[in-house]
Amino acid sequence: MSQNYETLLLNGDEAVSQAVQLLQQGECVALPTETVYGLAANAANAPAVDKIFAAKGRPKNHPLIVHIPAVSHLEKWAADIPATAYALAEQFWPGPLTLLLKKAPHVDDVVTGGLDTIALRVPAHPLFLSVLAQLDSGLAAPSANRYKQLSPTIAEQVSKGLKGRIAAVLDGGPCAHGLESTILDLVSERPRILRAGPITKQQLDVALGCDVEMPKQHVEVVPGNVKAHYQPITPARLVTTEQLVADMAELQGQNVCLLLWSEQAIAQAKATGLTASQWREMPREAALYGQQLYVTLYQVDQLDVANILVELPPQSDDWRAINDRLSRAASY
């Protein structure tokens, strides 16, 4: 059923109104956000939301994030909203912070995976915001990838995974952050981060004036926050700088691609004579690295190498979301 679409690529002046029309007709449309592309459907239309699960091959008990046009829409989707939610929304919305709140009674189980909570955010991408403003509703949107694959940060990557399975892709260029939003649970006794993202623990600590809980390892508190996620097709492994430098000569003869960021590792790759297709230089700055991570893994996946070796990045707070995604991308 979900294989029958022509999958229009929408861009230009009419793109937003075409996307709005398809969404009003109960179709799924991939839309750009400032984090990653989302696969959107009208959150108030259960059969439309069902199509998201069919297109992605996502298990039905994995809850979705509902994207709203403005903070004034919070009460339409959530109940018992604490003052902290408004304070955080004021500071970080539109933006890459998802708040977990008690759900309003009318919200369909298909959106929340049957949970009594709901994840909400106002995204910062101008095209997504225009679509939301015209619909004046909420859009359920997980990342626009097939289940367990990498989140897409360019329209081409969405099409590669979902062509034939969804009505359209709205092309908004490359996503600014390149990593999924931070998810903050405001229902638990103490605010806690369920998924690290572009808004850091430090920023949330300052905003809330408390020590926000941050699980050391990701926790599978809900279906969907699973370890084997965000994976390239090619097996990937995280390796320390020291180990990579030591192994570089041996790697030269192998069908591998290295993602390197440190001066030391890059100098060693050059000195050893690795070919251009055997390594990529990654940015040394966390925000830029994050922006390029998924698209680089996507591109390297097309090279037909046997393995991807990723140089372990710094471990500081601003690299936390990157390390979280890399630990999940690594399959051995």
Binding partner of 149, given ligand TXA, Mg ion, none, CB within 5-8 angstroms per partner class: none
For the bound state, the minimum distance from the C-beta of residue 324 to ligand TXA, rounded and expressed in Å, comes to: 12
Q: Which is nearer to ligand TXA, 42 or 143 (CB)?
A: 143
Residue with smaller CB distance to ligand TXA, 145 or 278: 145
Query: Strand 139-140 relative to strand 236-239: parallel, antiparallel, unpaired?
Result: unpaired
Residue 100 sits in the site that holds ligand TXA (CB under 6 A): yes
Taking the complex as a whole, how short is the minimal distance between the CB of residue 143 and Mg ion, in angstroms?
Answer: 3
Verify binding: residue 224, ligand TXA, rule CB under 6 A. Answer: yes
- The interface partner of residue 100, options being ligand TXA, Mg ion, none and the CB cut-off 5 to 8 Å by kind, is ligand TXA
List the x/- string, 101-140, binding to ligand TXA by CB under 6 A: -----------x--x-xxx---x-----------------
Write the CB contacts of 60 (distance below 8 Å, at least 6 apart in sequence): 53, 110, 113
Looking at the Cβ atoms of 98 and 137, the one nearer to ligand TXA is 98
The distance of closest approach from Cβ of residue 233 to ligand TXA in the complex, given in angstroms and rounded to an integer, is 18
CB of 73 to Mg ion, least distance (A): 23
Segment holding 39, helix H or strand E: strand 38-42
Is 100 or 245 the residue whose CB approaches ligand TXA more closely? 100
Q: Which of 18, 33, 200, 234 binds ligand TXA (CB under 6 A)?
A: 33
Residue window 66-85: x/- pattern of binding to ligand TXA, with contact defined by CB under 6 A: --------------------
Q: Look up tokens 């991939």; give the residue.
A: 30
CA distance linking residue 305 with residue 293, whole number of Å? 17
* Packed helices 263-272 and 241-251: angle between N→C axes, nearest 10 degrees: 10
- Residue 76 CB, nearest approach to Mg ion (Å): 24
322 belongs to the binding site for ligand TXA (CB under 6 A): no
The Cα–Cα gap between 69 and 93 comes to 10
C-beta of 141 vs 295, nearer to ligand TXA: 141
Residue 329 structure tokens = 């991308």
The answer to whether 298 and 319 have CB atoms below 8 angstroms apart is: no
Strand partners, 8: 168
DSSP secondary structure of 61-120:
TS--EEE-SSGGGHHHHEES--HHHHHHHHHH-SSSEEEEEEEPTTS-HHHHTT-SEEEE
Cβ-in-10-Å burial (0-12, 13-18, 19+) of 298 comes to: buried
Closest alpha carbon to 36 in 192, 194, 201, 155: 155
Q: Give the footprint of Mg ion on this chain (CB under 5 A).
A: 143
Q: Give the footprint of ligand TXA on this chain (CB under 6 A).
A: 33, 35-36, 38, 62-65, 96, 98, 100, 112, 115, 117-119, 123, 141-143, 180-181, 183, 194, 222, 224-225
